[in-house]
Amino acid sequence: MSAAGARCGLFSPSLSGALDAGRAQARGAALRAGASVEQLDGVQQRAHAKAASVPCGSKDLTTAAGRVRKAFEGYALLQRMNYPGDRASWQADRASSATIPFWRLSQPSTFGGDRLVFGLAGRNTELLAVATFADGARPYAARLVMRDPGRTQGPYLKARNGGGLADNAAPRAASRVFGAETRDAAPAPTLMPTGAKTGMAFRFPREAGDVIARLDPREAMTVEFVIQGRDGRETVRRAYVEVGDFAAGRAFLRVS
């Protein structure tokens, strides 16, 4: 229906966003269940071909579009959604505030004694990493590292054999690195990891979010925090975030 809706102008932008969210979530579930990317691409191509063969004024298409609109009435009332993955979950919240920044789409992570919340925050859905460090460390830079889909043929999924998220992160040579554009104290307690009294926020380019949405939901990305010690030496602390249903959650936020 997404393909037919786009071709024939059947649905509002909000409803189209809901269909995009559902399609992304279904694709993620199929990949986690063992379907291959090639199989899913084939299904999508056949669906597009089928949609292209049906006249926009078709009675069957009109009936199907009406059913989609009816189903959307309940979906549009949802304010929050949880998207569980293999090892972590995304929490989406469509509410917004003009004065208090809070997470719209988020995933927590623990690395050593430090904690992180990563995702989209605020009315402008900025891509943020907000971290608190047990020893009071203050990183001077942060990097977001993920597989480069333009240079690779698929994800690296060694953790499927029992490892942790780190085993599902692509090697550096096959990755794309985004440096944080800003570094600040966490702007509000609502963005900090649960129970944290202090935190640092790093904002990443919007382009990084577009790349994340193209990744396999089973793989992981790395948030690197660069810290300079008193002796001048640099150390890097790494947190891992599961890609999961980031694409579905981001599409859900566009539903109004």
pLDDT at 208: 98
Q: Are strands 175-179 and 114-121 parallel, antiparallel or unpaired?
A: unpaired
Q: Along the chain (256 residues), what's the average pLDDT of each consecutive run of 10 residues? A: 82 84 88 87 85 86 89 83 94 86 96 97 95 96 97 83 84 97 94 94 98 95 95 94 96 85
Q: What is the DSSP string of 162-176?
A: S--GGGGBPPGGGEE
pLDDT at 162: 62
Structural domains present in the chain: 2-77 (no CATH), 81-253 (2.60.40)
CB 213 within 8 A of CB 177: no
CB 227 within 8 A of CB 234: yes
Around 145, how many Cα atoms within 13 Å sit in the side-chain half-sphere?
A: 20
Rounded (10°) CA dihedral 102, 119, 182, 192: 50
pLDDT at 247: 95
